[in-house]
Amino acid sequence: MGSERHVDSCEELFRACGMPLTIQRRIIFEELSQRSDHPTADQIFQSVQDRLPGLSRTTVYRVLEALVEAGLIQRICHPGATARYDANMNRHHHVVCLKCQRVIDLHSSELDALAVPKGLDGSFRVLDVSVHFRGLCAECQEKQDTANLA
Amino acid sequence: MGSERHVDSCEELFRACGMPLTIQRRIIFEELSQRSDHPTADQIFQSVQDRLPGLSRTTVYRVLEALVEAGLIQRICHPGATARYDANMNRHHHVVCLKCQRVIDLHSSELDALAVPKGLDGSFRVLDVSVHFRGLCAECQEKQDTANLA
DNA sequence: TTTGACAATGAATACCGTTCGCAATAAAGT
DNA sequence: ACTTTATTGCGAACGGTATTCATTGTCAAA
């Protein structure tokens, strides 16, 4: 199996950040890394419970917060009142459904090349740029249309 | 005073949406329209209390939700676990501080002209585009620097 | 202008997401 | 292995948001 390399890089990653690598942190980080659906803390908690019996919700929140602080993951920008996380730290863009609040990744080299407007870079230190397309996903369009018929 | 025109437009706006215009809705909407700091529901509640004695927090949440539904205001995309609102429905962009989560508006005709990538427009109905610059605001850079010295 | 249908408000309460304090536990370096 | 130090788990607390229901207010028709 080629998974040992991943394990190694996980340990190196944490060591480089100066944070102890616990089982909880490893599994939560690996789980988030394998997903691309920008889960909430609770969704992570659910899908990790079988691998971490007795895991506390509190720990999930604390681990995610610590990973954000360390720069290993990010909290994404989205409408709505629940924090969502993303382990993809490469530049990418987002498609946001205003109805169901789903967030879908979008890769585009054209958009990646966006220049930072002058005037901004003076006081503000830009670390990343992402383009948000907001609107209605296919499912929600359908729901809306059928609702209009009724 | 030229404020009567605004009052008129407010009434027309609500009528066009088919929603009764109450004092609460008018004042909450006007308050949000005059601000550009993307306040939370509670911040709106605070700054409107003197004009609306006996106002309930519940009403603020309901009014903001109704205004979003009607398309008169929008819930902005941001990191963090509290909903923030914006009455500026013109296309504009956002500068987000990852530390203090402040959101600043950015106007740029270059960015406004962004093309929607093909492939997206098939299933997803794009209603708006906005560019997010994420990083550290001047204040938070300062705090971080002084923290590093200690 | 009054009236009536209907929708919005306020108060209390319940709910969900998140954070805190503290005792028990586990990781990393010696 | 041992010690230091940080992390975990639990329970409770907290803040933001949604819900229920009686009361009040809006709008338009009479």
Q: What is the pLDDT of residues B102-149, one digit of tens each?
A: 899 999 998 998 988 877 878 899 999 999 999 999 988 887 776 665
Mutate to test the interface with A, among B124, B128, B141 (most CBs of A within 10 A): B124
Q: What is the pLDDT of residues B51-74, one digit of tens each?
A: 999 999 999 999 999 999 999 999
**CATH class of the structural domain B91-149:** alpha beta
pLDDT of A1 reads: 46
Question: Phi, psi at residue B132, to the nearest 5°?
Answer: -110, 120
**Residues sharing a CB contact under 8 Å with residue A118, sequence separation 6 or more, in sequence order:** none
Q: Measure B5 CA to nearest chain A CA, in Å.
A: 31
B109 interaction partners in chain A (CB closer than 8 Å): none
| Residues facing residue A132 across a β-bridge | A94, B130
pLDDT of A75 reads: 94
Q: How many A-B residue pairs are in contact by the CB < 8 A criterion? A: 113
Q: Pairing between strand A125-136 and B93-97?
A: unpaired
Q: What is the pLDDT of residues A2-20, one digit of tens each?
A: 444 455 589 999 999 999 9
Q: What is the pLDDT of residues B8-33, one digit of tens each?
A: 588 999 999 999 999 999 999 999 99
Q: Is the CB of A48 under 7 A from strand C?
A: no
For chain A, the domains span 7-76, 91-149
Please provide the average confidence, as pLDDT, over all residues in chain A.
89
- More confident of the two residues A9 and A32: A32
B100 assigned to a ligand binding site? yes
Q: How far is the CA of B61 from the C1' of D22 (A)?
A: 20
Predicted TM-score (pTM) of this structure: 0.88
- The answer as to CATH 1.10.10.10 being correct for domain A7-76 is yes
B17 assigned to a ligand binding site? no
Chain A 104-143, CB < 7 Å to strand C: none
CA B16 to chain centre: 21
